[in-house]
């Protein structure tokens, strides 16, 4: 099945034609793309748009359609009225089904279409229009639907107005449900409810859904089956989005999870601690640290406990070095221990008059857990890993909130450095290698040690603020 995407380029690879080509391929289609606009964007937003001229869009369309059979078309970002006119006139020469995603504004809030009324002429030619709630209201020139029921009525009005099907999407609703519905002028044809996944990585979900729908329709000839398959595919791709770790804003979905998902045990572990990561992100300590409103006293309490923790952590890294199976691993863990003693602890010292000498129960629980994991090298480095990985992950978001006057500027910088990034990647790789060589019993113990450490990290962060919560399980 040959599927043509007519859309804008997203150089960060999560939305636009890049998302479309991935989704088309993952759903068994052969993807082609005619580019309507170049955008400069990443997971935080769009910093520039350069539309392609209407003439050149037409030249691309003709190059493809004079040679290749097109089984379905997906249309995304169109940028301006000139591009819309070019696409509309070309569509008169082909009769493939058209899924039109009326892209107006990116998730980040940036505009991707300069004249929304210019879309009107194209809507009649669409077979299915896939607006989100804001786009649905805008196409009807009505206020945004306050409820899902009202959105369904709006979708029915839009379907009647243009004699098309409308896929109403509930991704922007609040609540645990993420409903979508295929609606015709006669009413709802299919309503699907799906769990809302707790992730910020939803960049490109609309692009992915519309190109998957076009691909699945080309394969089945049935919009109902195509939507069921598309929703199920997208839901899996969103559920596994956090495994990718692309950028520090709204990252992309995991288009190829069905192909490679289970091949990466580290990705699975990361996915398993997703609820813990979510809780860490929401801790008062982290949000206040990020905003710079955290009390000095709380920060000092944290730093003092962290210094005690790091002294023991450095010993555990040295132990891992002594147990390492090869020279590369031996050096890596030993460099880590030295880095703490010569680097991180100096930073801690700069915040404190003197190091505390009494570890809290939470600090002790964590370091005891590390010490108890030393029965085997694999288990030990699995227990060591969350301290790298979680700090790298949180560090990226904290760094995005950093600025010259931030009271904790230097601390926020430490965990967002390229050096720390690279050390974390290497630590993950060491654990992956040990996992690959481990027998099933050791693999299970490694995973348990990793998850337990992640729980201790959560308690550790929580302890410094007045809402001190002890999640410790040791
Ligand atoms: N957190 C989530 N969990 C599960 N499904 C989601 C989530 N967020 C969005 N979706 C699904 O993604 C699809 C796109 O929905 P949405 O309403 O966000 O459209 P959109 O705004 O066009 O997408 P985009 O955010 O890419 O612009 C829908 O099928 C929606 O149900
Ligand atoms: C080129 C292009 N096309 C479409 C979108 C919308 O996708 P999202 O709303 O998920 O950012 C985008 N950001 N960039």
Task: Summarize pLDDT for 64-112 with one digit per residue, the tens.
Answer: 999 999 999 999 999 999 999 999 999 999 999 999 999 988 767 778 8
Asked whether 76 lines ligand 1 (CB < 6 A), one says no
Structure tokens given for 326:
């090869």
Asked whether 79 lines ligand 2 (CB < 6 A), one says no
Where in the chain is CATH 1.20.910.10?
265-463
Distance 170 CA to ligand 1 centre (A): 7
Q: Which residues of the chain have pLDDT under 50?
A: 467-474
According to CATH, the superfamily of the domain at 265-463 is Heme oxygenase-like (1.20.910.10)
- C-alpha torsion angle, residues 221, 223, 224, 228 (rounded to 10): 100
Q: Residue 135's pLDDT is what?
A: 93
Q: Ligand 2 atom 10: the closest Cα is on which residue?
A: 204
Q: Residue 246's pLDDT is what?
A: 92
Proximal ligand: closest to the CA of 175: 1
Asked whether 196 lines ligand 1 (CB < 6 A), one says yes
Q: Residue 467's pLDDT is what?
A: 45
Please identify, by atom number, the ligand 2 atom nearest to the C-alpha of residue 105: 9
Please identify, by atom number, the ligand 1 atom nearest to the C-alpha of residue 130: 22
Distance from C-alpha of 116 to C-alpha of 137, rounded to nearest angstrom: 12
Q: Ligand 1 atom 16: the closest Cα is on which residue?
A: 171
Q: Residue 468's pLDDT is what?
A: 47
Where in the chain is CATH 3.40.1190.20?
2-245
2-245 is classed in which CATH architecture? 3-Layer(aba) Sandwich (3.40)
Angle at alpha carbon of residue 369, lines to 363 and 370, rounded to 5°: 95
Q: Ligand 1 atom 15: the closest Cα is on which residue?
A: 171
Angle at alpha carbon of residue 279, lines to 276 and 280, rounded to 5°: 90
Q: Residue 171's pLDDT is what?
A: 86
Distance from C-alpha of 237 to C-alpha of 283, rounded to nearest angstrom: 27
Asked whether 203 lines ligand 2 (CB < 6 A), one says yes
Proximal ligand: closest to the CA of 113: 2
Q: Each residue of 419-436: pLDDT tens digit?
A: 888 899 999 989 998 998
Asked whether 107 lines ligand 1 (CB < 6 A), one says yes
Angle, in degrees to the nearest 10, between helices 377-400 and 418-437: 150
Angle at alpha carbon of residue 357, lines to 356 and 359, rounded to 5°: 90
- The residue whose two tokens read 């599927």 is 3
Distance from C-alpha of 25 to C-alpha of 72, rounded to nearest angstrom: 14
Question: In which region does residue 256 sit, left (phi positive, over 0), alpha (psi from -120 to 50) or beta (all else)?
Answer: alpha
């Amino acid at each position: 099945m040959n599927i043509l995407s007519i859309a804008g380029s997203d150089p960060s690879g999560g939305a636009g034609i890049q998302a479309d080509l991935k989704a088309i391929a993952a759903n068994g289609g052969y993807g082609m793309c005619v580019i309507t606009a170049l955008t400069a964007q990443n997971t935080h937003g769009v910093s520039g748009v350069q539309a392609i001229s209407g003439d050149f869009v037409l030249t691309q369309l003709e190059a493809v359609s004079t040679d290749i059979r097109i089984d379905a078309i997906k249309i995304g970002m169109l940028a301006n009225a000139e591009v819309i006119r070019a696409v509309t006139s070309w569509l008169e020469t082909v009769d493939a089904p058209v899924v039109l995603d009326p892209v107006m504004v990116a998730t980040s809030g940036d505009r991707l279409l300069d004249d929304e009324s210019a879309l009107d002429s194209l809507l009649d030619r669409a077979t299915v229009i896939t607006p989100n709630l804001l786009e649905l209201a805008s196409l009807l020139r009505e206020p945004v639907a306050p409820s899902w029921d009202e959105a369904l009525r709006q979708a029915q009005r839009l379907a009647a107005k243009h004699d098309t099907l409308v896929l109403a999407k509930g991704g922007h609703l609040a609540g645990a449900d993420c409903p979508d519905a295929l609606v015709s002028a006669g009413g709802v044809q299919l309503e699907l409810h799906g769990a809302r996944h707790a992730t910020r990585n939803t960049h490109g979900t609309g692009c992915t859904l519309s190109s998957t729908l076009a691909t699945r329709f080309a394969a089945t000839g049935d919009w109902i089956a195509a939507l069921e398959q598309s929703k199920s595919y997208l839901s899996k791709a969103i559920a596994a989005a956090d495994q990718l770790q692309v950028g520090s804003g709204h990252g992309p979905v995991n288009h190829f999870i069905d192909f490679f998902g289970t091949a990466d045990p580290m990705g699975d572990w990361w996915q398993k601690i997703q609820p813990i990561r979510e809780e860490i992100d929401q801790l008062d300590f982290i949000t206040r640290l990020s905003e710079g409103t955290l009390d000095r006293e709380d920060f000092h309490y944290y730093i003092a406990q962290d210094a005690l923790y790091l002294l023991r952590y450095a010993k555990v890294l040295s132990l891992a070095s002594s147990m390492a199976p090869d020279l590369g691993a031996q050096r890596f863990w030993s460099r880590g221990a030295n880095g703490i003693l010569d680097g991180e602890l100096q930073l801690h010292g700069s915040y404190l008059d003197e190091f505390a000498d009494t570890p809290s129960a939470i600090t002790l629980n964590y370091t005891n857990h590390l010490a108890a994991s030393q029965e085997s090298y694999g288990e030990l480095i699995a227990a060591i890993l969350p301290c790298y990985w979680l700090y790298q992950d949180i560090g990226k978001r904290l760094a995005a909130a950093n600025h010259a006057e931030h009271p904790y500027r230097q601390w926020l910088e430490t965990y967002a450095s390229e050096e720390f990034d690279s050390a974390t990647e290497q630590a993950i790789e060491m654990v992956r290698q040990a996992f690959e060589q481990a027998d099933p019993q050791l693999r299970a113990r490694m995973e348990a040690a990793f998850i337990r450490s992640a729980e201790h990290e959560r308690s550790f962060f929580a302890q410094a603020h007045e809402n001190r919560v002890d999640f410790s399980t040791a």
